[in-house]
Amino acid sequence: MNQFIDWISQPWAWYVAGPLIGLTVPALLILGNKSFGISSSLRHVCAMCIPAKIPFFQYNWRKEMWNLVFVLGVLVGGFVATTFLSNPDEIVIAAQTQADLAALGITDFSGLMPADIFSWENLFTVKGLIFFVMGGFLVGFGSRYAGGCTSGHAIMGISSLQWPSLVATIFFMVGGFLMTQVLLGPLMKFAGF
């Protein structure tokens, strides 16, 4: 059992993890004609919990219960992995990336997310307002406006040859590059880093 725990807690190579993720798409299609995606689960939760007669939430959300179970499995799996199967080795980050982030005031690379940004102390500050509230709104608005999130478009949409998913994925990438290369520095300075 210890060998299995040691094996599963190591980082998996891209040529193993990638095909396993990719095989999710045909498995969902073959087993139940289901589409892979995460952001749609928020709509299902709202339809389940909000009793208002909002037309957007008036549909048979029970038919999509499998998606809510899938998202719950992602959350439970993430908790199990980080709590019991985490790799004790330091996360490897390229020296140039560390230097670029240090110039922005991000120096703590001890966890999966930089503690300099993602901490409870930052939640009720200008940083928290910008990164958590505004960032969360933009991600939610963007995924709704694009008709799905990055995982839904890039994994499910492109693999099923959907032209809108290819366009959405291209713009997700362009937006990420623009944010990283152009907007992140000024935004970090504005937030007080």
- Say what the pLDDT of residue 76 is: 95
Is residue 190 over pLDDT 80? no
Task: Please say if the pLDDT value at position 174 is more than 90.
Answer: yes
Contact 157, 35 (CB under 8 A): no
pLDDT tens by residue, 3-45: 887 777 777 788 988 888 888 888 888 888 887 778 888 888 8
pLDDT for residue 144: 79
The pLDDT score that the predictor gives to residue 40 is 80
Asked if the model's pLDDT at residue 2 lies above 80, the reply is: no
Report the pLDDT value the prediction gives residue 193, as an integer from 0 to 100.
65
Q: How far apart are CA 141 and CA 159, in angstroms?
A: 24
Those residues with Cβ within 8 angstroms of residue 133's Cβ, 6 or more apart along the chain or in another chain: none
Cα 99 to chain centroid distance, Å, stands at 25
Residue 133 CB: number of other CB atoms within 10 A?
Answer: 11
What radius of gyration do the chain's Cα atoms show? Answer: 19
Q: Given this model, what pLDDT does residue 145 score?
A: 81
pTM metric for this prediction = 0.69
pLDDT of residue 161: 85
Contacts by residues 21-24 (CB-CB < 8 Å, ≥ 24 positions apart) = 21/155, 22/155, 22/159, 24/155
Q: Residues 34-74: pLDDT tens digits?
A: 877 788 888 888 888 887 788 888 888 888 888 889 889 98
In this structure, how many other beta carbons lie within 10 angstroms of the beta carbon of residue 42? 14
If DSSP codes are grouped into helix, strand and coil, which group holds residue 65?
A: helix
Distance, C-alpha 63 to centroid of its chain: 24
The pLDDT tens digits for 78-89 are 898 888 877 777
Compute the distance between CA of residue 190 and CA of residue 126 in angstroms, rounded to an integer: 9
DSSP 130-184: IIIIIHHHHHHHHHHHTTS-HHIIIIIIHHTT-HHHHHHHHHHHHHHHHIIIIIH
**What is the C-alpha separation between 183 and 178, in angstroms, rounded?**
7
Instruction: Round to whole Å and give the CA distance between 125 and 116.
Output: 13
Between 95 and 184, the more confident residue is 95
The percentage of residues in the chain with a pLDDT greater than 90, rounded to a whole number, is 6
